[in-house]
Amino acid sequence: MQGRIDTISANMPITATMLYNLVQCPHRVSMDLHGDPGARDPVSPFVQLLWEKGCDFEEEVIEGLRVPFTNLRPFSEEERERRTLEAMRRGDPLIYGGRVRADDLLGDPDLLRMGGGGYVAGDIKSGAGLEGETDAADGRPKRHYAVQLSLYTDILERMGCSGGRTPFIWDIRGREVPYDLDAPEGERKTGTLWEIYRDALAEARAIAAGGGRTVPALAGICKLCRWRTACSKELEGRDDLTMLPELGRSRRDAMIHALPTVGALAAADLGRYIRGAKTAFRGIGPETLRKFQERAILQKTPRARPRLKAPVDLPRADTELFFDIETDPMRDICYLHGFVERRGGDTNGERYAAFLAARPTEAEERRVFAESWAYIRSARPCAIYYYSHYERTYWRKLQARYPDVASAAEIEGLFGSPSTVDLYGDIVRSRMVWPTRDHSVKTLAKYLGFKWRDTDPSGAASIEWYHRWVQSGDDAIRRRILDYNEDDCIAMRVLLDAIRTL
C-alpha cells in the first residue's frame, strides 16, 4: 500500500500552500485536491482583500530593496523554475520569485538568499512573523509559516544547495524573523519545527494519494473557507461533535471512537469514561466532559431554551451603554468605536453614538479613541456591556499608544469596574448553556430573533467595507459600516434583556 501511495503522490507535488492549509485544517487539503470544484463557495471579498494586500505589501518590500537581486517574478512557472536553477548555479546573491523542485516537493519561495555555503529561503508576509507577542512575552513561530519554510529548506537540501535550516520571514513590521527549524517549537513543546514539518508532509502525501481520510471540523477558520457550505452539510449529516461550542477538532478526534456524535454524547453514561480526576479521552477532564454533555443534551432537546447554570449579578443603572469596536488587523488600527445608549430601560428611545476614523491614520485613531473615552466619561454613572475580551485588550493597546488620552489606571478602572460587564466571558461562557453551535453574539442574537439589517454582517466584511470607503469616500459604504456596528451593539442589548428574563 505504501508503495502505491508513493507512486501516486509522486505525480501530485506537495506544495507550501498545501502544508499551510494542512496545519489549519487537513480536510481543506483533501477538499482542494479531491472535492467537487462546483461545490465551492465564492471567494469572499475579505479574502480577496487579504490577497490584494499581501501582493501590495510584497511589491512595496521589493521596491524598497536597496540590494541587487534577480527578479524572476515576471516569468511563467516553467521559466521561473529553469531560471532559478541557472541563477543558483551562477551564485546570484538574492533571487526573488524563484521556483524549486525536488522529488515530489515543489516550492515557490519569495526569496532565496545565498549564505552558509548555499541558499536559505525566505517569505514576505503581510502579517507578524511570530504569534503571541506581547509587551511582556516573546512570540513563538507560526506553524503555518514554519511548514512552508521547511518545505523550501527540504527541497534545497535534496538539491544539495542548502545553506542551513534557518530560513526567514520578512514581516509586516519590517523585521527579518529567523525560523530555527531544529529548535523546539516552544518552551512547553519539545518537538522541533522540523518534526512538525515531517508529520505534515507525511499527512499531505497520504491525502494527495487519496489514502488519508479526513473529516471536517467546525471552527472559526471555516467562516472564510470556500468549502464552508459543503462542510456544514457534511457536519450536520454526521451529527459531528464539533458542532458543540468550543469542542474543536482535537477533542473530537480524542472522543470519536467512543462517542462519535452529539447524540451519542448526549445519551452517554459518562461514568463509564470517568476515572477519578481523569477521563478515557486524552486532554479532556471530567468537568469539561460534563460541560460538553450538558451542551449536547440541550442541543438535542426539541425547542430547548438557553439556561443559566449559576445566578448572575448584573449592574443596575439608569444609563446602559452597549459598546463594540471595529479594527483592521492589516493596518493595525481601530477605526470605529460604537455605542448604543439606553436610558431608563427605554428601548424605543435608545440612540447610537459612533466615532469613526475618517482615514486609517494614527491621528484619526487617536481622535476617535479620545472622543469615545470622553463620551463614556460624560455618560457616567452607567453600566457598560461589551462582548469578549477584545474591547478591553484593544483599549489597553490604544492607551499604550496614546497615553495622553487616558492613563493606564483609568482604562483598568473602566474594565475592572463591576458596572462594566463582558457578556461573553462573565456570563455566556461561564454561567450559561445555549442550544447553539457557537457562542458568537451573532449566533445568540439571531437565535433570540434579532435580524441584522445587512445581508452579510461580519467583522471581516466591515474591514473590507472600510477599505473601500477610505478609497472611494462613498457615503453608502460609510452608512453600511455604521449600521452594521449599531446592529452589533443592539444585539448585545437583545442578549442582555434575554438573560434578565431567565
Closest to ligand SF4 by CB, 238 vs 397, is 238
Instruction: Rule CB under 6 A: say whether 225 interacts with ligand SF4.
Output: yes
Whether cis (ω within 30° of 0) applies to the bond prior to 74 is no
CB of 202 to ligand SF4, least distance (A): 19
State which residue, 84 or 148, has the beta carbon closest to ligand SF4.
148
The beta-carbon contacts of 349-355 under 8 Å, at least 24 apart in sequence, are 350/490, 350/493, 352/482, 352/486, 352/489, 354/482, 354/485, 354/486
Q: State yes or no: residue 228 binds ligand SF4 (CB under 6 A).
A: yes
Please give the size of the binding site for ligand SF4, defined by CB under 6 A. Answer: 12
Residue 272 CA to residue 374 CA, distance in Å, equals 57
What is the spatial distance between Cα 365 and Cα 231, in angstroms, rounded to a whole number? Answer: 39
Task: Find the shortest distance in angstroms from Cβ 28 to ligand SF4.
Answer: 4
Nearer to ligand SF4, 27 or 295 (CB): 27
Q: Is position 22 an interface residue for ligand SF4 (rule: CB under 6 A)? A: no
Distance CA 317, CA 285 (A): 39
Tally of CB atoms within 10 A around 30: 23
Which sign, positive or negative, has the C-alpha torsion 346, 348, 349, 350? positive
Kindly state the smallest distance separating residue 106's Cβ from ligand SF4, in Å: 22
| Complex with ligand SF4: residue 223 or 479, whichever CB lies closer | 223
Residue closer to ligand SF4 by CB (options 224, 312) is 224
Give the integer Cα–Cα distance in Å for 106 and 108.
7
Site stretch for ligand SF4 (CB under 6 A), options 21-29, 353-361, 363-371, 431-439? 21-29
Shortest distance in whole angstroms from residue 51 CB to ligand SF4: 17
Nearer of residues 227 and 292 to ligand SF4, judged by Cβ? 227
Instruction: Provide, rounded to whole angstroms, the least separation between the CB of residue 101 and ligand SF4.
Output: 27
Three cell numbers, residue 205: 502525501
Tracing cell 500500500 back to the chain, one arrives at 1
Q: Write the interaction track for ligand SF4 spanning residues 190-219; mark x where CB under 6 A is met and - where it is not.
A: --------------------------xx--
DSSP 145: H
State the residue for C-alpha cell 438557553: 306
Tell me the closest approach of the beta carbon of residue 204 to ligand SF4, in angstroms: 14
- Nearer CB in complex with ligand SF4: 225/423: 225
Distance CA 32, CA 22 (A): 11
Q: Which residues pair with 124 in a beta bridge?
A: 170
Q: Give, in order, the Cα–Cα distances in Å from 396 to each of 230, 234, 408.
A: 40, 41, 7
The DSSP letter of residue 310 is S
Which grid cell sits at 22? Answer: 494542512
**441-500: which residues touch ligand SF4 (CB under 6 A)?**
none
Which cell is 131 given?
Answer: 504569534
Minimum CB distance to ligand SF4 smaller for 140 or for 238: 238
Q: How far is the CB of 460 from ligand SF4 (least distance, A)?
A: 15
Q: Does 27 bind ligand SF4 (CB under 6 A)?
A: yes
Per CB under 6 A, contacts with ligand SF4 among 30-49 are: 31
Alpha carbons 360 and 371: distance in angstroms, whole number? 16
- 327 within 8 A of 333, measured Cβ to Cβ: yes
Task: Give 241 or 494: the residue with its C-beta nearer to ligand SF4.
Answer: 241
Q: How far is the CB of 231 from ligand SF4 (least distance, A)?
A: 3
Instruction: Name which of 471, 282, 208, 244 is nearest 359 in CA terms.
Output: 471
Is residue 110 within 8 A of residue 132, CB to CB? The reply is no
Which of 204/491 has CB closer to ligand SF4?
A: 204
Q: Which is nearer to ligand SF4, 154 or 240 (CB)?
A: 240
* CA 89/CA 86 separation, integer angstroms: 5
Q: Which of 9, 19, 22, 28 binds ligand SF4 (CB under 6 A)?
A: 28
Among 18, 22, 25, 206, binds ligand SF4 (CB under 6 A): 25
Q: How far is the CB of 21 from ligand SF4 (least distance, A)?
A: 8
Cβ–Cβ under 8 Å, residues 388 and 425: yes
Helix then strand count (H, E) for the chain reads 18, 20
Least distance (Å) between residue 31 CB and ligand SF4: 5
Residue 221 makes contact with ligand SF4 by CB under 6 A = yes
CB of 220 to ligand SF4, least distance (A): 9
18 lies in the site for ligand SF4, by CB under 6 A = no
Binding residues (CB under 6 A) for ligand SF4: these are: 25, 27-28, 31, 216-217, 221-222, 225, 227-228, 231
